[in-house]
C-alpha cells in the first residue's frame, strides 16, 4: 500500500511519523508549494487528504480522475457531498471521509447519540456544546463540534438550529449553542452538556495528541485499499 499525503501541516507530519513507525510507504507529499498536477501520473494507491476547505474539491477531482482512492480528513466541504459521491461512482474509486478520524471520537459520537435520545424524553434539560483547540487551528467551530451538534439536532426534537457565533441576545430554546475557544497547545477538547435546574451531565472527549487521528486515518486507508465505494468512517467501524 503506497500512500500520498495531500497537505503537510501538523496532521500530515503526524501521519508521516506514524507511517514511518509502521513501515508504510509514502511516495508523494503535496502542499501549497508542490500541488497536485492533473497532467502528471502518480505512483501511489491512496491519497490522504488533509489540505484546506479551499483546495479539497479541486484535489479530489484530480485524484478521482486518476483513479486514486482517497481518505478525506479535511472538513468544511460537506455542501459538496453529492458532487464528491458522484465522482466516486463515475470514476469507480473508493473514498472514506470523516470530520474526525479519532477512534475514540467515533465512539464519543455514539455516546452522544444515545444520550441525546434519552434526554429527548425530558424537556426540562437544555443542551449545548463548547470546544477548545490550539491557537494554530484555522476553523471555528471545529468540524467535530458541528458533527456533535448535528447529532443532537437529529435526536432532540426541541432543538432546531445550530448557533455558532456570538449572538448578543438571549438564546432561544430551539437553538443549540456551540462555543469555541482558541489558545495555547490544546489538541482538542469537546464538551457536551445536558443541563437542568437539578443537575448537569457533562460528557467530554479530550484528545491528548494527534496519534489517535493518525491511527484512524491509516485504519481507513487499509480498509479502502483496493476497494470501491463511498464510506464514512463510522460505516467501517460499527
Instruction: Show which residues are catalytic.
Output: 133, 137
Residue 108 has a pLDDT of 97
Residue 141 has a pLDDT of 93
Angle, CA of 172, 177 and 182, to the nearest 5°: 150
2-101+211-237 architecture in CATH?
3-Layer(aba) Sandwich (3.40)
What's the Cα-to-Cα distance from 59 to each of 42, 128, 137, 233, rounded to whole Å? Answer: 13, 35, 21, 20
Q: Are 190 and 182 in contact (CB under 8 A)?
A: no
Residue 165 has a pLDDT of 85
What's the Cα-to-Cα distance from 71 to each of 60, 76, 99, 117, 211, rounded to whole Å? Answer: 10, 15, 11, 30, 16
CATH code reported for the domain at 103-207: 3.30.360.10
Q: What are phi and psi of 127, to 5 degrees?
A: -130, 145
β-partners of residue 2 are: 25
The interaxial angle of helices 103-119 and 211-224, nearest 10 deg, is 100
Residue 139 has a pLDDT of 85
Q: Please provide the average confidence, as pLDDT, over all residues in the chain.
A: 95
- The boundaries of every CATH 3.30.360.10 domain in the chain are 103-207
- Which parts of the chain register pLDDT below 70? none
Residue 138 has a pLDDT of 83
- The boundaries of every CATH 3.40.50.720 domain in the chain are 2-101+211-237
Residue 80 has a pLDDT of 97
pTM: 0.84
Amino acid at each position: 500500500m503506497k500512500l500520498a499525503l495531500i497537505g503537510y501541516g501538523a496532521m500530515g507530519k503526524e501521519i508521516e511519523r506514524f507511517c514511518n513507525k509502521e513501515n508504510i510507504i509514502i511516495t508523494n507529499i503535496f502542499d501549497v508549494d508542490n500541488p497536485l498536477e492533473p497532467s502528471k501520473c502518480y505512483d501511489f494507491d491512496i491519497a490522504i487528504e488533509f489540505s484546506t476547505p479551499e483546495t479539497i474539491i479541486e484535489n479530489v477531482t484530480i485524484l478521482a480522475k486518476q483513479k486514486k482512492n482517497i481518505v478525506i480528513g479535511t472538513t468544511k466541504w460537506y455542501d459538496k457531498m453529492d458532487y464528491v459521491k458522484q465522482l466516486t461512482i463515475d470514476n469507480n474509486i473508493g473514498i472514506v471521509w470523516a470530520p474526525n478520524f479519532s477512534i475514540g471520537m467515533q465512539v464519543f459520537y455514539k455516546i452522544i447519540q444515545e444520550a441525546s435520545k434519552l434526554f429527548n424524553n425530558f424537556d426540562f434539560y437544555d443542551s449545548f456544546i463548547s470546544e477548545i483547540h490550539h491557537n494554530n487551528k484555522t476553523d471555528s467551530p471545529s468540524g467535530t463540534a458541528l458533527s456533535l451538534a448535528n447529532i443532537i439536532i437529529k435526536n432532540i426534537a426541541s432543538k432546531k438550529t445550530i448557533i455558532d457565533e456570538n449572538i448578543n441576545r438571549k438564546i432561544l430554546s430551539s437553538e443549540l449553542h456551540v462555543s469555541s475557544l482558541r489558545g495555547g497547545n490544546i489538541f482538542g477538547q469537546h464538551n457536551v452538556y445536558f443541563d437542568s435546574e437539578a443537575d448537569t451531565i457533562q460528557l467530554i472527549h479530550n484528545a491528548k495528541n494527534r496519534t489517535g487521528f493518525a491511527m484512524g486515518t491509516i485504519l481507513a486507508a487499509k480498509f479502502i485499499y483496493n476497494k470501491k465505494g463511498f464510506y464514512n468512517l463510522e460505516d467501517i467501524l460499527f
